Structure 1
Amino acid sequence: MKKPKPQPGLPSREQVMRFIADSPGAIGKREIAKHFGLHGAEKIALKALLKDMTDEGLVDMAPGRAFHKHGGLPRVTVLRVAAIEGDAVWAVPDRWEGAGPPPRLRVMEKGRRSALGVGERILARTEERGNGHVAHPMKTLQSSAELVIGVLVADTGPGGKPMTWLRPADKRARFDFAVGDMGDAAIGDLVRAELTGRGPATKAKVIERIGDPFAPKALSMIAIARHEIPHVFGAETLAEAETGAKLPLTPDGREDLRDLPIVAIDPIDARDHDDAVWAAPDEDAGNKGGFRAIVAIADVSFYVRPDGALDREARRRGNSVYFPDRVVPMLPETLSAGVCSLKAGEDRAAMACHLVIDRHGKVTSWRFTRALVRLRANIAYEHAQAAYDKSTSPRRKPGPQAVGQDASDPSLRWDDDIIPALQNLWACWALLAKARAARSPLDLDLPERQVILDEAGGIAEIRVRERLDSMRLIEDYMIAANVAAAKALEAKKSPVMYRIHEPPSREKLVSLKEYLETFDQSFALGQVITPAVFNRLIDGFSEDDRLPEIMQAILRSQTQAYYGPANAGHFGLALGSYAHFTSPIRRYADLIVHRALVDGYRLEVPGKAKDLPARTGLGEADAKGLSRIGEAISALERRAMEAERETIDRYVAAYLANKTGEIVAARITGVQPFGFFATVDGLGGDGLVPVSTLGNERFFYDEAARSLDSEHGRVSYTVGQRLDLRLMEANPVSGALRFELPDAPEGGFRNRPVRRDGAKKDKAGKHMVGKRGRPANIKHKGKRR
């Protein structure tokens, strides 16, 4: 349908967007027409313009026919209270049709604290604050049915009567709910249920059976359901993937790199292989001591064309989500584990980043081509490290066994040129590492938990993943290619989807300063804050067992990275321009960068097929919509990270479920007025130690020091403190743990110390905590409604 021509006086799309963004109240067609002085036919044209802008995704229409910026929140909207965490009340939009997950808003209540309850609906005015939003309640609305994800369990109710309960999958949930209607579900099933009624009369009605989350290799189903992660591909998407996989792969328009010993070095349990590397000493006399390197990345843009069904689904997912028991891929396996996965001995389409590196480790030039590659080997990090170490050992003997090969293991049977290729990669990396050390990026060596499953899907082991030089090597090659992609597009004046990490805010730095003062460590706010400042701080605690807590505090002070077209640099990596280029199989942002490179370097290649769009570049529409795309995929990335973290916690809880009652070594990770949180050494997983179990003394909560101190100074519980705790509960459904002190009496202490509402601070700034009654913001697991 042909769009109507703009009428005289009709505002442009940019003017309408600016007016909506700058207006404090709800904006409808009437307000827009009045602001721009439109009358008669101009109003009709405005209606058509707003429809077009809605169809194009530039604006959304909120309930009540008010417009707001796409992906944002209306100025006034209906919210539903999703969680209450201590003093904080959090809400989400009651209706959300954005591309990413719904935003969480801090509700700024007036008067009595916690007047609102989980599930209640409010009409609120929203306000941007920092990197998020806050909500100012206007009035409470009639409650609608709340949907809860949980597992059905059998237990007793009042009077010992057998009952079915819904145990929520959210560890912040305070209650199990009595089930009034199970539908076709059975005990142990993961379900979606509707809550009706209020208070003790609340009942759960099962509206959807999702499956058995405790079946082998299925615990991730809880996170998939709770976060509504798309995990089933539609028929149209699968058909397009099959069509794309059959595209003929020829050298036409591609650089033939099949003779080079390019290798992929990945985790031993990698599900896909989208990057490979090669390096060799530079023969150019003008670059003595330097290297040439190639970072070859799967050419996903050749198979996933803009505006096709595959592209729409990839954008809806934003990224792949990795769980211990499965991966929810961004692309169907025909592509992600098939033709787009770089496998040894098979011809693959690649986007090649050619780098020239001088003897100081500086990347002096780069170029990008579409290429044809045939990898020599897919090598696990551990095998690459072992092979390189053995090849450089002074005691090695001639022959293939001396360089790490094992004839009995197919994964270690490589061509003769693999070991020289690894040695060249390490030699070139030594230069890149030198340059990295010179710019001093943020060096937070935080442990990564790894869940190892056996063949039956049971938990064989949970351990901290070892950091090897082979991992750092690949990381530095990928960073070099990512920087080159950003600078190459800047040089072409092409649109760039940057990976942005802004410096810490002053508020977070003030909080960090106050925390460090509890360690008698000064932190000057007036200095220029760079990653090197934090690195020096870390070095100062290198021999201190409190180093993990210091690094966690520094991590909390950082802003969250995001995607967008307006460059603000990458603070953590100490880089001025940075874009994700190296993982287009699993990140939509990287696919956007590949398409921009296709346009900027004119890299279109033959490869047309019926029912597939011909173009593989970015195109004008997406180039103009990078801001909107960046907002959506940033939110989807946060959703994936939260889902992955929650699932690891559930596996930890499942692993510990048969160890309840045992004493475990733990470390305090957080302190609140209602108790402290601790994690099991070497395993992770946070659990609460309720203040009710700490003793009969009154306790004081010191917010700056993040500690709970007894009245007479006999006991103090502080972030970072190590202690033995008794594991009282491990709930695989929510991932929640609960601990008590080893000598706590059964049922807790009688006059348990709690922080009362309206508690004042003493002269030292500590919250005084009363002795009477149950704290209003504590509900123990197992509490029933």
Structure 2
Amino acid sequence: MLDKNALQQLNQLKSKIIESKDQGEGEVRGSQRRFGFVRLDDGRDVFLAPDDMQRVFPGDRVKITVHTDDKGKFKAELEKLLDSPLDCFTGRYVVRGQGHFVEPDLPRFNKLLFIPPSQRKKCSEGDFLYCQVAQHPFRDGKSQVKVLENIGKPSDVGVEGKYIQRKFKLPRDWPNNCSIGEDSRAEVRKDLRDTPFITIDSAETRDIDDALWAEANENGWQLNVAVADPSAFISPDSPLDLAAKQRANTVYLPGFTQTMLPNPISQGSCSLMANEDRAAIVCSVQVSHQGEISDIEFSEALIRSRAKLNYNDVHAHIHKTVDLEQACLSDLYAASQALRNYRSEHHIMMPEQADFHFKLNEQRKIESISKVERNDAHRLVEECMLAANRSAAVWLADSPSLYVCHAGLREDRYENIRAVLRKEIPDLADSDFGQLPNYIALIKASEKSESSLPLRSIFARMLQPGNISSSPLPHFGLGLESYTTFTSPLRKYSDLLVQRCIRAKLNNEELSLPDEEELAALQERIRNGRQASKQMEQWLQYQYLAQNTSDTVYDARIAHVNGGGFTVELLETGISGFVEARTIPEKLSFDADALRLFNDKQSFQLDQLVKVKTSELDDFQRKLMFLLV
């Protein structure tokens, strides 16, 4: 029997052995194959073998021991499960022999999870499910799930919308007492019902946020932009306000719209419908003949729109193929042209992209896809909205407010950019791209360059995402010192908040704004809604494409390039898929500076036109692989 000294020595030895081990904590990352990695807190990526990957989920936080093999490569040995954030998820019912499983619809998650007999609830293979993890596999590699809801069968009408709602946890119901009361600002509103405002939107739009009017004067034009004023009816922290905050914005799903505000409000009492008295916040500015903005004023007003016009008719009127009776259209178009010319010279114009309209059949599947090009009516409205939003950012500069910011190029890509510039525009290679004037100069030079490389597209792939801030930081994407948006308060909660900021300044009132944590949560909900819309569109698009034969050839444009291949976008439908570099006969090298794949015989770069055909298509997994023709 060991005495106390011997036991103490053994414990000390054990502690020294543990301390000498290379251990760390990190997050499990999945891959397209059965193995995975652990991203340690110190930045290392450690290989996780298939057998160990069966014991964890992507996203799990684990403690590992790091082993180094003869070649200096790291391999993980699982020690402890620290946290597993995966709880509820959506997926597809799968039968493999005698086993019944759910195939989780999660990124880089390629394992099936077992459904015990008691949980099968008359589900059939292919059904879409909403499940909860009932047993984690860390102990023995075996997992189990609980089926919370059978969302529906693939043949059910509209099942895609129900599934996406559940997957992204989009709120489906409104709380009680979500109605609105009387206009809290009725007594102080300026009566502008004699001003002949008009609205210009898509023919089917019912939630009309903005109305326009312009009149020529000796200095250019007076431009008035009236914006629906739901903030006068919705009290902060009321049930309706909290519901709108939770939704963050209106999510447009094919065949279904998840509104930020209830339809009776967004499409009724607050919508700027023609020939109805409506509460509005009006931005009034003077636009010079050169397109400069001055004399910015804001007011709370009562307006009465004279007409609901659509883009196609207004475009036809501008080009004199249709005669509309609204007299302000000519002045609106002239003012918008001046604004556009000024922006083109002094700021940055975003490249225009076509929209794609889905016509759905009775099964709520895509029957046809039509390409909708932007026209002069779209540009007219865009310039008026930009002018109002730019003016709001300037006007609010000395008051608490929210701003839309864009930090420009990613700092970790500066060297890639400099490498391109040394060859193509050497005078700009040493510029500080974190300064707005230098970035504007870079974009304008890239547009004028005669380089064979698509410089503007290359730099666009190296941009940081935009965000919402409580400080008036620059918006590099537009080339502006500051920018905000208040023109879509029926659809965007951040715009409703900015509207409150405008009212607070008008009335010299105190206002409580979201803190950084609340802003981050708001932005995450906005991203979640956008991702939901994108995934449902992809799902229906891939179903639509699956109706064609695998030999159908499509014209496409290269939209993204990386070392593994490139994403292409079909010209006629906008559907995106991936071409793997390994499917191209001769090995390709990747140029991370110019974002192109090349060898001695061929080159593939951004914006290049190619012909492709499908090689693999799974609409549920939103996986579409193309082959070059």
Q: 2:173 aligns with which of 232, 235, 251?
A: 232
User: 2:516 and 2:377 mapped to 1: Cα distance?
Assistant: 35
Give the partner amino acid of 1:372: L
Give the partner amino acid of 1:191: L
Alignment of 1:509-528 (within 5 A): 509-514=414-419, 524-527=428-431
User: 1:176 and 1:708 mapped to 2: Cα distance?
Assistant: 35
- CA deviations 1:697-731 (Å, max 9, x no partner) are 66655545555567xx5666555554433313322
User: 1:185 and 1:352 mapped to 2: Cα distance?
Assistant: 55
Cα contact 1:89–1:107 (8 A) shared by 2: no
Cα contact 1:694–1:741 (8 A) shared by 2: yes
Cα contact 2:550–2:614 (8 A) shared by 1: yes
Q: Corresponding residue for 2:571?
A: 681
The SS at the match of 1:152 is strand
User: 1:586 and 1:79 mapped to 2: Cα distance?
Assistant: 39
Q: Corresponding residue for 2:465?
A: 560
Deviation at 1:346, TM superposition (A): 1.3
Q: Which runs of 5+ in 2 are unaligned?
A: 1-23, 65-75, 433-437
Q: 1:732 aligns with which of 619, 624, 628?
A: 619
CA 574–353 in structure 1, closer or farther in 2 if over 3 Å, else same:
same
User: 1:483 and 1:138 mapped to 2: Cα distance?
Assistant: 54
The SS at the match of 2:286 is strand
Alignment of 1:630-779 (within 5 A): 630-665=519-554, 666-672=556-562, 674-690=564-580, 693-695=583-585, 703-704=592-593, 706=595, 713=600, 720-740=607-627
Give the partner amino acid of 1:555: A
Q: Corresponding residue for 2:121?
A: 183
Aligned residues: 579
Cα contact 1:192–1:208 (8 A) shared by 2: yes
User: 2:519 and 2:206 mapped to 1: Cα distance?
Assistant: 26
CA 206–456 in structure 1, closer or farther in 2 if over 3 Å, else same:
closer
Deviation at 1:433, TM superposition (A): 1.8
Deviation at 1:565, TM superposition (A): 1.1
CA 383–581 in structure 1, closer or farther in 2 if over 3 Å, else same:
same
The SS at the match of 1:252 is helix
- CA deviations 1:455-496 (Å, max 9, x no partner) are 653313224431111111111111111122222222xx3201
Cα contact 1:263–1:375 (8 A) shared by 2: yes
Q: 1:322 aligns with which of 223, 243, 252?
A: 252
Q: Corresponding residue for 1:359?
A: 289
- CA deviations 1:168-199 (Å, max 9, x no partner) are 44464435556544335444432122455479
Q: Corresponding residue for 1:347?
A: 277
Q: Corresponding residue for 1:403?
A: 323
Is the counterpart of residue 331 in structure 1 residue 261 in structure 2? yes
Deviation at 1:581, TM superposition (A): 1.1
CA 207–378 in structure 1, closer or farther in 2 if over 3 Å, else same:
same
User: 1:660 and 1:201 mapped to 2: Cα distance?
Assistant: 40
Is the counterpart of residue 385 in structure 1 residue 325 in structure 2? no
Cα contact 1:218–1:325 (8 A) shared by 2: no
CA 251–707 in structure 1, closer or farther in 2 if over 3 Å, else same:
closer
Range with greater deviation from structure 2 (140-149 or 369-378): 140-149
Q: Corresponding residue for 2:213?
A: 278
User: 1:494 and 1:138 mapped to 2: Cα distance?
Assistant: 53
Deviation at 1:327, TM superposition (A): 1.5
Give the partner amino acid of 2:182: L
Range with greater deviation from structure 2 (256-265 or 655-664): 655-664
- CA deviations 1:428-466 (Å, max 9, x no partner) are 212222321231314323444433324653313224431
User: 1:662 and 1:584 mapped to 2: Cα distance?
Assistant: 47
Give the partner amino acid of 1:367: E
Give the partner amino acid of 2:382: E
Cα contact 2:354–2:371 (8 A) shared by 1: yes
CA 471–112 in structure 1, closer or farther in 2 if over 3 Å, else same:
same
- CA deviations 1:326-356 (Å, max 9, x no partner) are 2211111121111111111111111111112
Is the counterpart of residue 302 in structure 1 residue 226 in structure 2? no
Q: Corresponding residue for 2:411?
A: 506
Is the counterpart of residue 478 in structure 1 residue 385 in structure 2? yes
Cα contact 1:122–1:139 (8 A) shared by 2: no
Deviation at 1:656, TM superposition (A): 0.7
CA 515–188 in structure 1, closer or farther in 2 if over 3 Å, else same:
farther
User: 1:332 and 1:90 mapped to 2: Cα distance?
Assistant: 45
Is the counterpart of residue 431 in structure 1 residue 329 in structure 2? no
Give the partner amino acid of 1:150: G
- CA deviations 1:730-751 (Å, max 9, x no partner) are 2222321123456xxxxxxxxx
Deviation at 1:662, TM superposition (A): 2.3
CA 486–709 in structure 1, closer or farther in 2 if over 3 Å, else same:
closer
Cα contact 2:33–2:110 (8 A) shared by 1: no
- CA deviations 1:504-542 (Å, max 9, x no partner) are 23322333444678x967683313532342233134369
TM-score, normalising length: structure 2? 0.80
Deviation at 1:290, TM superposition (A): 1.4
Deviation at 1:162, TM superposition (A): 7.6
Deviation at 1:384, TM superposition (A): 1.4
Q: Corresponding residue for 1:263?
A: 198
The SS at the match of 1:530 is helix
- CA deviations 1:35-69 (Å, max 9, x no partner) are xxxxxxxxxxxxxxxxxxxxxxxxxxxxxxxxxxx
The SS at the match of 1:733 is coil
Deviation at 1:301, TM superposition (A): 0.7
Q: Corresponding residue for 2:71?
A: none
Cα contact 1:78–1:121 (8 A) shared by 2: no
CA 679–594 in structure 1, closer or farther in 2 if over 3 Å, else same:
closer
The SS at the match of 1:572 is coil
Q: Corresponding residue for 2:16?
A: none
User: 1:698 and 1:388 mapped to 2: Cα distance?
Assistant: 53
Q: Corresponding residue for 1:12?
A: none
Alignment of 1:522-561 (within 5 A): 524-527=428-431, 529-540=438-449, 547=454, 550-561=455-466
Is the counterpart of residue 573 in structure 1 residue 478 in structure 2? yes
CA 268–539 in structure 1, closer or farther in 2 if over 3 Å, else same:
farther
User: 2:185 and 2:468 mapped to 1: Cα distance?
Assistant: 34
User: 2:557 and 2:91 mapped to 1: Cα distance?
Assistant: 29
Is the counterpart of residue 210 in structure 1 residue 146 in structure 2? no
User: 2:196 and 2:28 mapped to 1: Cα distance?
Assistant: 57
Amino-acid identity (%): 26
How large is the RMSD of aligned CA atoms in angstroms? 3.8
Cα contact 1:564–1:631 (8 A) shared by 2: no
The SS at the match of 1:658 is coil
Cα contact 1:727–1:737 (8 A) shared by 2: yes
TM-score, normalising length: structure 1? 0.66
Is the counterpart of residue 253 in structure 1 residue 173 in structure 2? no
Q: Corresponding residue for 2:110?
A: 174
Alignment of 1:624-635 (within 5 A): 625-635=514-524
Cα contact 1:686–1:736 (8 A) shared by 2: no
The SS at the match of 1:149 is strand
Deviation at 1:556, TM superposition (A): 1.9
